[in-house]
Chain A
């Protein structure tokens, strides 16, 4: 018997102008102790389904048809009171952003107790006991139940929300993107915990995510959603090993994997369909390379194909399509031949020498008067980098490692504390002294957030023309260059986009406008700070390809900053890994990824999820968290968490050239030879012994932001 059964569910949202059909005829069922995944890009209706199951659909949303049955009870007709009994007692929820899903003025213990008191007749002592129990289950120190949320780090807060979801032994746990926004190593630990917990308690889990890798590694069964429709459904292994639906194929191809080098990521062209009408044809038809006229006649029903269900008229040609889908040409993308050879790089365009950026910690007025030396957060601490023409240098690292600060300091958006920067052999100070304008025409920056990086009041034409106007070009040149650049970044035909306002563009289009703004000056150096991290997978690949093409064709040097190793390995020629303000490993991308020498870099690389469900990856259970950057330990920064650390590591900080093999350098006295046995097995072994180290991440963030 299945626990939850969703049948032909249709949900629409009423908006002022027209109705949005967010979910159309979705059916799936979750069995007892089942791990079920709903995977899809933003706007596919996955969160709407989760909200419906919890009875927390927005006020303007309504269930137009279909049923949601939980233990043979119809959920759609429940009253608010009946819902309150079911929520948490039987269905609980792990929200996406643990950062603000906890009440900041209540201790975490009290927040969890609330749920107990609401549903059980328990004394405070009994409730406390239960809270301590769940804390232990999720790997938190039970003594910390009386702490406030800000005293926990991001990963630990996510554990608190998991503990909260577990506290009443629900039958179903809905996890809505539980690891999005967390660093890979933390993500790996959380997922490991979730799976382990599930083995112990017998709940089912509904995992909602856009991350194909996470689903492939955790779920037994999966539904791939697109445009409010189920595209493919079945056992995870079957769906991702032998996808039979073109959308699944596209999604999987677009999803970057760490150790696939130089393979051009294949993006899915086009954008999501408007859901203002009920779909009349296949929802994917306008983006599908295999679409024919038949696809116009109604969305194809889910039919058995192999061992899974797929909504496509051509499931019988699945093998053929799968082969074709692996070729970029199929998706209308020009394939780049011999990408490997085009990676010739030219002269050095950027050189940094011992670059430093320290943020002063605020101290009391009295200490100021007494002349006490204030504490510093060493966000960037002695970084030496070079970037050549036509080269993409990837900078990887977890949040708080100083990679974004590094980018902004190089672009002179923040003043540096020490060290030197040379652009094309000239010191940045000299360039700036000569003219800021000239410096800006050589070094450009692309920001992370495409939804906020364009002025909402500026049309595309004005936005892209602005840098040229500042440089004082004449109107004719400006018009020509704007048109060229807009078309170069793939916004074709340019006329269609030039007069649009940012609000009329999709996220991917906005980011391309931002790239056009940076490229229109034909800079020598381009710094990209996570330019694709907020975009859906299918669009992400597109942005990566544009950047790669620009580096190859225009000989621009690019610094690509990201926490996403998989996209870095696809486009970067060389990769630098940062930890707490230092570059701890640098070298050719292939070298670094295949033979990482620094234990931290090796752990980071091993923690990336795999989209291939047949690979059984050992999880990275790196103990502890990065130390507080205000009081760094002496010696190697990573020593406190490193299984290989010796006395020497704790005393002297290793130089970056401690390990050197050609261009491959790592700051480690004992470079890693075998990741599995030296690190991962060690982590797994040490796990029981290592106490949870409290880290005050809140103060780190504050000090970094509040200069």
Chain B
């Protein structure tokens, strides 16, 4: 097949222009005030995910808070424990800070995995059409038909859940959304003259697909990756809440599960709020940024392409 190889030169060139485009787009997105707030929250969250465990004053699980020789059980915020303690006498602040990391891992890798897998499936399916499309789209129908939680629980009951496995399960259930949207977008783009023109100039399928079609649907791809980041966090937290989280790590979802199990859900507001607000803030932030980005990408994809 001719023109199959993507030479390094072209690839480098392309990456550079994509980078400058990304900078430009980010600038545009941040003109929106809601997006600015969202972006700030995401930055704070990423910072917590990276450095939270080092900032935490105590070890979230091993250290038990004590005052006057007795364990601090379910105590409301005080100078010693600014966010109060759990029913096992653990520091909520430490748990909250340490819990950001698994949440970030699930969000980032779940989001990227979903975005990449969905993008590739959508691109292949939309570009080739015919039988390939038929096969891939029936597969998406299948994942649409299977209910997420029961299936995920079923899978996770057989194996010991760890964070990477959970991320994988999330990707398996979430890729269908971007795949569908990217596919329809690719089908419009591939009918445009420049795609036909590239074929007439001798470009092979891979080259046409990745150099001519893909850049023109990349915006939507990123948008769905951003959304998938939010979905993954919510879904990961739901699994943890149901007791299927990674047992070796403290995550925000797991904190909620523990407070629920301890029966203190209605009493210990200092225990419930940090993880709940954290999850809500991060997902809301992602959607705020995503919405501003979507305005840029969606209806007038053409007019904004400079």
Also in contact, A457 and B197, with CB within 8 A (given A441-B202, A475-B9): no
Q: Are B200 and A455 in contact (CB under 8 A)?
A: no
* Among listed A79-87, A183-191, A465-473, A553-561, interface-contacting one: A465-473
Tell yes or no: A413 within 8 A of B by CB.
yes
B184-200 residues with Cβ-Cβ distance < 8 A to A are 192-194, 196-200
Beta-carbon nearest neighbor of A441 in chain B: B202
Interface centre among B196, B197, B204, B215 (most CB of A within 10 A): B197
The answer, among B2, B199, B305, for a CB contact under 8 Å with A435, is: B2
Beta-carbon nearest neighbor of A447 in chain B: B193
Q: How far is the CA of A448 from the CA of B196 in the complex (A)?
A: 11
Tell yes or no: B13 within 8 A of A by CB.
yes
Also in contact, A436 and B197, with CB within 8 A (given A441-B202, A456-B216, A457-B305): no
Q: Which residues on the B side are within 8 Å of A483 (C-beta)?
A: none
Tell yes or no: A115 within 8 A of B by CB.
no
Also in contact, A445 and B197, with CB within 8 A (given A435-B2, A457-B17, A503-B306): yes
Beta-carbon nearest neighbor of B197 in chain A: A453
Interface centre among A441, A445, A449, A453 (most CB of B within 10 A): A453
Q: How far is the CA of A435 from the CA of B4 in the complex (A)?
A: 13
Q: Which residues on the B side are within 8 Å of A512 (C-beta)?
A: none
B1-38 residues with Cβ-Cβ distance < 8 A to A are 1-3, 7, 9-10, 13, 17
Interface centre among A454, A456, A475, A521 (most CB of B within 10 A): A456
Q: How far is the CA of A455 from the CA of B302 in the complex (A)?
A: 11
Q: Which residues on the B side are within 8 Å of A409 (C-beta)?
A: none
Tell yes or no: B201 within 8 A of A by CB.
yes
Tell yes or no: A444 within 8 A of B by CB.
yes
Interface centre among A440, A444, A449, A475 (most CB of B within 10 A): A440
**Proximity bits, B256-269, A CB within 8 Å = 1, else 0:** 00000000000000
Tell yes or no: A215 within 8 A of B by CB.
no
The answer, among A445, A448, A457, for a CB contact under 8 Å with B200, is: A445
Also in contact, A413 and B199, with CB within 8 A (given A435-B2, A437-B3): yes
Q: Are B2 and A437 in contact (CB under 8 A)?
A: yes
Also in contact, A440 and B194, with CB within 8 A (given A456-B305, A457-B305, A470-B3): no
Tell yes or no: B212 within 8 A of A by CB.
yes
Count of residues in B whose CB is under 8 Å from the partner chain: 28
Tell yes or no: B203 within 8 A of A by CB.
yes
Q: Are B3 and A455 in contact (CB under 8 A)?
A: no
Beta-carbon nearest neighbor of A478 in chain B: B9
Q: Are A467 and B306 in contact (CB under 8 A)?
A: no
Q: Are A471 and B200 in contact (CB under 8 A)?
A: no
**Proximity bits, A508-544, B CB within 8 Å = 1, else 0:** 0000001001100100000000000000000000000
Q: Which residues on the A side are within 8 Å of B204 (C-beta)?
A: 436, 470
Q: Which residues on the A side are within 8 Å of B302 (C-beta)?
A: 456
**Distance (whole angstroms) from the CB of B31 to the closest CB of chain A:** 12
Tell yes or no: B90 within 8 A of A by CB.
no
Q: Are A466 and B198 in contact (CB under 8 A)?
A: yes
Q: How far is the CA of A456 from the CA of B213 in the complex (A)?
A: 10
Q: Are B193 and A470 in contact (CB under 8 A)?
A: no
Tell yes or no: B207 within 8 A of A by CB.
yes
Q: Which residues on the A side are within 8 Å of B202 (C-beta)?
A: 436-437, 440-441, 467, 470-471, 521
**Distance (whole angstroms) from the CB of A213 to the closest CB of chain B:** 28
Q: How far is the CA of A457 from the CA of B305 in the complex (A)?
A: 7
Tell yes or no: A288 within 8 A of B by CB.
no
**Distance (whole angstroms) from the CB of B17 to the closest CB of chain A:** 7
Q: Are A436 and B1 in contact (CB under 8 A)?
A: yes
Count of residues in A whose CB is under 8 Å from the partner chain: 34
The answer, among A437, A449, A454, A469, for a CB contact under 8 Å with B7, is: A469
Q: Which residues on the B side are within 8 Å of A471 (C-beta)?
A: 202
Also in contact, A455 and B194, with CB within 8 A (given A440-B2, A469-B7, A470-B3): yes
Tell yes or no: A57 within 8 A of B by CB.
no
Q: Which residues on the B side are within 8 Å of A447 (C-beta)?
A: 193, 196-197, 200
Q: Are B201 and A517 in contact (CB under 8 A)?
A: yes
Also in contact, A454 and B194, with CB within 8 A (given A436-B2, A437-B2): yes
Interface centre among B3, B7, B200, B207 (most CB of A within 10 A): B200
**Distance (whole angstroms) from the CB of A475 to the closest CB of chain B:** 7
**Distance (whole angstroms) from the CB of A268 to the closest CB of chain B:** 26
Tell yes or no: A167 within 8 A of B by CB.
no
Q: Which residues on the B side are within 8 Å of A411 (C-beta)?
A: 200
Q: How far is the CA of A382 from the CA of B47 in the complex (A)?
A: 70
Q: Which residues on the A side are within 8 Å of B193 (C-beta)?
A: 447-449, 452-453
A411-442 residues with Cβ-Cβ distance < 8 A to B are 411, 413, 435-437, 440-441
**Distance (whole angstroms) from the CB of B217 to the closest CB of chain A:** 11
Q: How far is the CA of A471 from the CA of B7 in the complex (A)?
A: 12
**Proximity bits, A179-216, B CB within 8 Å = 1, else 0:** 00000000000000000000000000000000000000
Tell yes or no: A241 within 8 A of B by CB.
no
Tell yes or no: A462 within 8 A of B by CB.
yes
Q: Are A452 and B194 in contact (CB under 8 A)?
A: yes
**Distance (whole angstroms) from the CB of A503 to the closest CB of chain B:** 5
Q: How far is the CA of A436 from the CA of B215 in the complex (A)?
A: 25
**Distance (whole angstroms) from the CB of A390 to the closest CB of chain B:** 22
Q: Which residues on the A side are within 8 Å of B200 (C-beta)?
A: 411, 413, 440, 444-445, 447, 518
Q: How far is the CA of A471 from the CA of B3 in the complex (A)?
A: 7
A297-333 residues with Cβ-Cβ distance < 8 A to B are none
Q: How far is the CA of A75 from the CA of B193 in the complex (A)?
A: 43
Q: Which residues on the A side are within 8 Å of B201 (C-beta)?
A: 440, 444, 466-467, 470, 517-518, 521
Tell yes or no: A501 within 8 A of B by CB.
yes
Q: How far is the CA of A457 from the CA of B216 in the complex (A)?
A: 7
Q: Which residues on the B side are within 8 Å of A454 (C-beta)?
A: 194, 197
Q: Are A517 and B215 in contact (CB under 8 A)?
A: no
Q: Are B306 and A455 in contact (CB under 8 A)?
A: no
Q: Are B203 and A462 in contact (CB under 8 A)?
A: no
Q: Which residues on the B side are within 8 Å of A441 (C-beta)?
A: 202
The answer, among A435, A455, A501, A521, for a CB contact under 8 Å with B198, is: A455
**Distance (whole angstroms) from the CB of B26 to the closest CB of chain A:** 18
B208-244 residues with Cβ-Cβ distance < 8 A to A are 211-212, 215-216
**Distance (whole angstroms) from the CB of B111 to the closest CB of chain A:** 24
**Proximity bits, A498-509, B CB within 8 Å = 1, else 0:** 000101100000
A353-373 residues with Cβ-Cβ distance < 8 A to B are none
Q: How far is the CA of A462 from the CA of B212 in the complex (A)?
A: 12
Q: Which residues on the A side are within 8 Å of B199 (C-beta)?
A: 413
Q: Which residues on the A side are within 8 Å of B1 (C-beta)?
A: 436
**Proximity bits, A652-667, B CB within 8 Å = 1, else 0:** 0000000000000000
**Distance (whole angstroms) from the CB of A301 to the closest CB of chain B:** 38
**Distance (whole angstroms) from the CB of A81 to the closest CB of chain B:** 32
Q: Are B216 and A462 in contact (CB under 8 A)?
A: no
Q: How far is the CA of A470 from the CA of B197 in the complex (A)?
A: 14
Q: Which residues on the A side are within 8 Å of B196 (C-beta)?
A: 413, 447
Q: Which residues on the B side are within 8 Å of A469 (C-beta)?
A: 7, 9-10
Beta-carbon nearest neighbor of B6 in chain A: A469
Q: Can you report 7 A-B residue pairs in the complex whose CB atoms are below 8 A from each other?
A: A436-B204, A437-B2, A440-B202, A448-B193, A470-B3, A470-B207, A521-B202
12 A-B pairs besides A436-B202, A447-B200, A455-B198 with CB distance below 8 A are: A440-B2, A440-B202, A447-B197, A452-B192, A455-B215, A456-B302, A456-B305, A458-B212, A469-B10, A470-B201, A470-B202, A503-B305
B residues within 8 Å of A by Cβ? 1-3, 7, 9-10, 13, 17, 192-194, 196-204, 207, 211-212, 215-216, 302, 305-306
